[in-house]
Structure 1
Amino acid sequence: MKIVLTGGGTAGHVTPNIALLPLLQKEEWEINYIGSKAGIEKELIEAEDIPYYGISSGKLRRYLSIENLKDPFKVVKGLGDAYKILKELDPNIVFSKGGYVSVPVVMAAKLLKIPVIIHESDITPGLANKIASKGAKKICVNFPETLKYVGNKGILTGTPIRAELFQGSKAKGKTICKFTMGKPTLLVMGGSLGSVKVNTIVRESLDQLLITYNVVHICGKNNLDEILKETRGYIQFEYVGTELPHIFALTDIMLSRAGANSLAEIVALKIPNVLIPLSKQASRGDQILNAESMQKQGYSEVIQEETLDVDILINTINKVYNNKDFYKNAMLSANKLSGSEKVLKEIKEHCKN
Structure 2
Amino acid sequence: MCSSILRLTFTRGIKGDMKKKKVLFTGGGTAGHVTVNLALIPKFQEDQWEVSYIGSHDGIERELIGKLENVPYEPVTTGKLRRYFDLKNIKDPFKVLQGIWEAYRKIRKLKPNVIFSKGGFVSVPVVLGGWMNRVPIIIHESDLTPGLANKIAMPFASKVCTTFAETMKHIKGNKGEYLGAVVREELFSGDRKRGLILCDFVSSKPVLLVMGGSMGSQKINQVVRENLDALLPTYQIVHITGKGAMDQSLLRKPGYRQFEYVSWELPDLMAMADLVVSRAGSNSIFEFASLHKPMLLIPLSRAASRGDQILNASLFGKQGIAEVLMEEDLANESFLDAVTSTWANREQLIENMKAKKLTCTAREVAKMIQSFAK
Q: TM-score, normalised by structure 1?
A: 0.98
Give the one of 15, 21, 30 matched to 1:10. Answer: 30
Q: Secondary structure at the match of 2:213?
A: coil
**Deviations 1:267-302 (Å, cap 9, x if unpaired)?**
111100000000101000000000011111111000
Q: Secondary structure at the match of 2:232?
A: helix
After the TM superposition, which residues 179-328 of structure 1 pair with which residues of structure 2 at under 5 Å, given as runs? 179-180=201-202, 182-328=204-350
8 Å contact 1:140–1:343 — kept in the other structure? no
Q: CA deviation at 1:67?
A: 1.1
Structure 2 distance, partners of 1:286, 1:27, is 35
Q: CA deviation at 1:145?
A: 1.1
Q: CA deviation at 1:337?
A: 5.3
Q: Which residue of 2 aligns with 1:115?
A: 136
**Which moved further from structure 2: 92-101 or 223-232?**
223-232
Structure 2 distance, partners of 1:337, 1:315, is 30
Moved runs in structure 1, 4+ residues, more than 4 A?
none
Q: CA deviation at 1:351?
A: 1.4
Q: Secondary structure at the match of 2:233?
A: helix
After the TM superposition, which residues 94-173 of structure 1 pair with which residues of structure 2 at under 5 Å, given as runs? 94-151=115-172, 152-173=174-195
Structure 1 distance, partners of 2:217, 2:358, is 31
After the TM superposition, which residues 342-353 of structure 1 pair with which residues of structure 2 at under 5 Å, given as runs? 342-352=364-374
Q: Using a 3 Å threshold, how does the CA distance of structure 1 residues 194 and 336 change in structure 2: closer, same or farther?
A: closer
Give the one of 49, 73, 77 matched to 1:56. Answer: 77
Structure 2 distance, partners of 1:347, 1:181, is 43
Structure 2 distance, partners of 1:104, 1:181, is 49
Structure 2 distance, partners of 1:145, 1:337, is 15
**Which moved further from structure 2: 190-199 or 337-346?**
337-346
Structure 2 distance, partners of 1:294, 1:207, is 30
Q: Secondary structure at the match of 2:177?
A: strand
Q: Which residue of 2 aligns with 1:331?
A: 353
Q: CA deviation at 1:341?
A: 2.8
Structure 1 distance, partners of 2:45, 2:298, is 36
Structure 1 distance, partners of 2:228, 2:67, is 34
**Deviations 1:133-158 (Å, cap 9, x if unpaired)?**
01111111111111111133111112
**Deviations 1:251-274 (Å, cap 9, x if unpaired)?**
000000000010110111110000
Q: Secondary structure at the match of 1:277?
A: coil
The percent identity for this pair of structures is 49
- Compute the RMSD of aligned alpha carbons: 1.1
**Which moved further from structure 2: 99-108 or 155-164?**
155-164
**Would you say 1:89 and 2:110 are equivalent positions?**
yes
- Gaps in structure 1 of 5+ consecutive residues: none
8 Å contact 1:159–1:340 — kept in the other structure? no
Aligned length: 352
**Which moved further from structure 2: 307-316 or 342-351?**
342-351
Q: Secondary structure at the match of 1:70?
A: helix
**Which moved further from structure 2: 66-75 or 247-256?**
66-75
8 Å contact 2:232–2:255 — kept in the other structure? yes
Structure 2 distance, partners of 1:179, 1:95, is 41
8 Å contact 1:157–1:339 — kept in the other structure? no
Structure 2 distance, partners of 1:181, 1:290, is 32
Q: CA deviation at 1:161?
A: 1.6
Instruction: Select the structure of larger CA radius of gyration.
Output: 2
8 Å contact 1:34–1:105 — kept in the other structure? yes
Q: TM-score, normalised by structure 2?
A: 0.92
**Deviations 1:304-339 (Å, cap 9, x if unpaired)?**
111111121112212221221111111112216524
Structure 1 distance, partners of 2:157, 2:138, is 6
Give the one of 31, 46, 70 matched to 1:26. Answer: 46
